[in-house]
Amino acid sequence: MSKSADILLACGEPSGFVHLENIALALRNQTNNISISAMGYPSNHIDNLIVDIKDRASMGLTDILKNTRFYTKSLMKLKQYINSNKPKIAVLIDNFEFNALLLKCLFRNYCNIFYFIPPKVW
């Protein structure tokens, strides 16, 4: 059975992954005729883990600067994936400093983009 829709989910921290996992599960409950790729953690609901953020999750610009090499490589991998696979839908979860860099590539590939910012309590 071929997959009819390719969906990209991207998060950069454990709290965002909780939402990513819930979105992936909800999509799977609707149909199996999709392919879900992600930047996140390994999951039974994800078909293709493009970038594993285990031990690299970060919050804010300071953490991203500490992991510049990892995020640069991750950005390159994701852009390559987007250009090759042209996902129909992308759901970017929080992590604005990183996800903002993906937007131009997603726009150029005519991807429907949803940016999810979960509620925060500080």
Residue 64 located in a structural domain: yes
Residue 96 located in a structural domain: yes
Residue 122 located in a structural domain: no
Residue 61 located in a structural domain: yes
- Which secondary-structure segment (H or E) carries 41? none
- Tell me what pLDDT residue 56 has: 74
Residue 26 located in a structural domain: yes
Residue 121 located in a structural domain: no
pLDDT tens across the length of the chain (122 residues): 455 579 999 998 888 899 999 999 999 999 889 999 999 999 999 999 999 998 776 666 777 678 889 989 999 999 999 999 999 999 999 888 889 999 999 999 999 999 998 777 76
CATH number of the domain within which 22 lies: 3.40.50.80
Q: How far apart are the first and last CA of the chain?
A: 46
Residue 11 located in a structural domain: yes
CB atoms within 10 A of CB 89: 17
Q: Buried b vs exposed e over 96-107: b needs ≥16 C-beta within 10 Å? A: ebbbeebeebbe
Query: Can you say whether residue 110 is alpha, beta or left, with left for phi > 0 and alpha for psi between -120 and 50 degrees?
Result: left
**The pTM is what?**
0.87
Number of structural domains found in the chain = 1
Strands 89-93 and 48-52: unpaired
Long-range contacts of 39-46 (CB under 8 A, 24+ apart): 39/9, 39/10, 39/11, 39/12, 39/74, 39/78, 40/9, 40/10, 40/11, 40/16, 41/14, 41/17, 45/21, 46/9
* DSSP symbol at 57: -
Structural domain of 24: 5-116
